[in-house]
């Protein structure tokens, strides 16, 4: 048996179910309350619920915030720039998927 075949594969499933509280999100991402509110105000993440005490975030929000933070840190973008960059990156990903489907058909 090879090393690769003897290893157990772990698969993490990321969902868009809003299960994380604001405190959970802050702990996972290392954010202050003001940072969470700024990301929400800019539309970078969209919680379910009314007000920070009732907000719930999905696991996808964690991924989005981590991407947003890297854009801020590495490229020096402000939050408006981060929101635009994330939107454009999502559009590029969508177009790549459409192109791949088109190429498979023809």
Q: Note down pLDDT in tens along the chain; length 106 residues.
A: 444 444 555 545 566 677 899 999 999 999 999 999 999 999 999 999 998 889 999 999 999 999 999 999 999 999 999 999 999 999 999 999 999 999 998 8
Q: What is the pLDDT of residue 1?
A: 47
Q: Given CATH 1.10.1660.10, say whether it is the number of domain 10-105.
A: yes
Q: Judging by beta carbons within 10 Å of its beta carbon (0-12, 13-18, 19+), is residue 21 exposed, middle or buried?
A: middle
What does pTM read for this prediction? 0.76
Question: Could you state, in order of their start, the residue ranges of all structural domains in the chain?
Answer: 10-105
Q: What is the pLDDT of residue 89?
A: 96
* Residue 45 · residue 64 · CB < 8 Å: yes
* Residue 41 · residue 1 · CB < 8 Å: no
């Amino acid at each position: 048996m090879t090393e690769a075949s003897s290893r157990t594969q772990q698969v993490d499933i990321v969902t868009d179910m809003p299960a994380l509280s604001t405190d959970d999100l802050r702990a996972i991402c290392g954010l202050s309350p003001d940072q969470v509110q700024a990301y929400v105000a800019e539309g970078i993440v969209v919680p379910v619920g009314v007000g920070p005490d009732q907000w719930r975030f999905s696991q996808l929000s964690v991924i989005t915030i981590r991407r947003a933070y890297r854009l801020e840190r590495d490229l020096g973008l402000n939050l408006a720039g981060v929101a635009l960059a994330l939107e454009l990156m999502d559009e590029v990903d969508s177009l790549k998927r459409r192109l791949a489907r088109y190429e498979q058909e023809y």
